[in-house]
Structure 1
């Protein structure tokens, strides 16, 4: 399909404006002269674009003291007010909604159990909860809502904003992005939670110092997000990284995907609890009890030397390492970050994971590989923050804000 010259010009303007905004964001404070040098754009273009960004309220002028005396130079910096957005995590059991400013700072959040949704119909419940949250927390006189981001487990088409398949809530082919935009009249971003969280680690967390990383999330399932050359690794339908369905044990337990012995049947929270429960019922000696059995309790017991807890977590770590080795062989990342409650036993599990990776990964890929805990262990809204920031820095959301001002 051919694009019109006007469309191409508008796209170039969007890219250049995003580049200028990104430089201001990165430099914190920068003069127009330095912007022109770093962006390699004409000073006249810089003047025009910065005027447009200032008019929309996205940047502002600040006086910077001159080092040699005289009149202070005028620099530009990003404005954080009045723009705000919502970041929502539609989990398996809970819904989290948070209000953030444009810089990503969380202003207020709210958490509700999904079992309170009438007839277990989570989409109408989600829309109603967002509407209530906006009515209670948004200050229309001083704040401007610019976007809503929703992340969830399952298969998500990020480009179309569609929940392709979310088995926990029996959702299939739900155009959630379009529904949110229609209901609240702002851009909506919908994506897989773990993939989005890997982007948050790149922008704000433990992967800021590298271009290639993998986030492994151990929760009710096992998921991954892959960052390649500073971008989310994806494909034609935005559905990649299902590490939880790598077959680790061909003779293992059946998985809900239809296969047997998937990593998820061994290393997820549910699988760990089942393993420990089975061993306790078989009469193995342990300080753990069925009445108070949680992942936290298992990790605490393992840290205290409980033999049963140590045995289970060592097996889980070994098999996690085998799965990570497959990812390492495919993508050769600089870092593998691990998220989940099992990180509470990191002094036990990380050495075992590293040893397993060393045994199964290509030797030349291992020496410089760093395996460590993720930064964002209990901050679900950071996944949506990353989606909004991505659109802002790439120009899509930036153009929306500018056009809304010009309208």
Structure 2
């Protein structure tokens, strides 16, 4: 037991030092010791191990007082790479992510809505092969693959329990993708990995309690509490799009009627728009609104109202210090963020909580799920190591 405890502590100390260097480099050994409370000897041993593994390099020296020089440590950004994948109904995005959460390269690929899991997995493998060859990437540096997708995911076993948008049920995605590629696989809900990315590298850096809301083909939310993803019992915490707004309302693709997302998501908006005239893209609906067509103005303004109601519900439940608006609707039509902020929040957020949170638009936009998935994979790699 004692040996096990010692080994665990050594691993935790190494992870702590690694995270401090990653987030605060260039940094000296003395500063690391001060931040962690570890002895200089322990810090030097860990730094030596990380340098030997190719993660660190010594940069310039600075004066440490009395003529002594202190060497600063920096990360080798390409020392660890991961693959971040976003799966959506009609699009698959694949990117290579470095240790700082930057996209080294990426590609976007069309996807048939009824594409089978096996075909999608094969195409992920093909995309990785294509990207690594085109960019001359050292595949030995890739430590794993992270996949973010809509739906309920058993993140511990990498099983897609249920995804309405993909039409998947009980798909052992991690096992199949590992069998194909040989890499360790992390699978999670898309909004959870997007929230992780925003927390680590985007709009929520420094936040202690972040709520991210996604509006696109579905509606959902994700919560980061003190740096950790809040998951709930089945990793389904945040599925606010399927809360009931009107039991007699429109049918949702999940089979229930009156779900919140039926008033906001792209499919429902287009379905209602087609009652007026044929329309195949959300861009056409926004064009009709800009042209002043009253029915289009009504549809979109109603959606913005329900977005504000969603924000209020999440704020009342979790009392976050930051709220981030994200998703395809917000990425494609940035004016949504300004309108919700200026015209709707004060109307629909409970008065005691007005002004209690910072309101942001996603900084990482359509890159967020790829970056978050890649970082999730890296986090798992270092935890296992």
SS at match of 1:381: helix
Q: 1:383 aligns with which of 372, 380, 384?
A: 372
Q: How does 1:251-290 map to 2 (within 5 A)?
A: 251-278=248-275, 280-281=276-277, 290=278
CA deviation after TM superposition for structure 1 residue 158, in Å? 1.3
CA deviation after TM superposition for structure 1 residue 313, in Å? 1.5
Matching residue of 2:321: 334
Matching residue of 1:246: 243
* RMSD over equivalenced CA pairs, Å: 2.5
Residues 277-334 of structure 1: CA deviation (Å, up to 9, x unaligned) = 22x25xxxxxxxx35x532333344345443322212211222222322211110112
Work out whether 1:64 is the aligned partner of 2:61.
yes
Residues 118-173 of structure 1: CA deviation (Å, up to 9, x unaligned) = x8323x22332233234333347585211111111011011222111123443222
Separation (CA, whole Å) in 1 of partners of 2:156 and 2:139:
31
The answer (yes or no) to whether the contact 2:82–2:375 under 8 Å persists in 1 is no
Higher relative contact order (CA 8 A, sep 6+): 2
Work out whether 1:348 is the aligned partner of 2:350.
no
Q: 1:121 aligns with which of 109, 116, 119?
A: 116
Matching residue of 2:27: 30
Separation (CA, whole Å) in 1 of partners of 2:175 and 2:232:
22
Separation (CA, whole Å) in 1 of partners of 2:186 and 2:5:
24
The answer (yes or no) to whether the contact 2:86–2:93 under 8 Å persists in 1 is yes
Separation (CA, whole Å) in 2 of partners of 1:185 and 1:42:
39
Aligned residues: 377
The answer (yes or no) to whether the contact 1:255–1:265 under 8 Å persists in 2 is yes
Question: Structure 2 unaligned runs (5+)?
Answer: none
The answer (yes or no) to whether the contact 1:33–1:43 under 8 Å persists in 2 is yes
The answer (yes or no) to whether the contact 2:308–2:340 under 8 Å persists in 1 is no
TM-score by length of 2: 0.89
Separation (CA, whole Å) in 2 of partners of 1:55 and 1:300:
57
The answer (yes or no) to whether the contact 1:159–1:238 under 8 Å persists in 2 is no
CA deviation after TM superposition for structure 1 residue 266, in Å? 1.1
Residues 13-34 of structure 1: CA deviation (Å, up to 9, x unaligned) = 1211111111112221111122
SS at match of 1:149: strand
The answer (yes or no) to whether the contact 1:248–1:323 under 8 Å persists in 2 is no
Matching residue of 1:284: none
The answer (yes or no) to whether the contact 1:213–1:228 under 8 Å persists in 2 is yes
Matching residue of 2:157: 160
Separation (CA, whole Å) in 2 of partners of 1:60 and 1:170:
47
Question: Structure 1 unaligned runs (5+)?
Answer: 282-289
CA deviation after TM superposition for structure 1 residue 182, in Å? 3.5
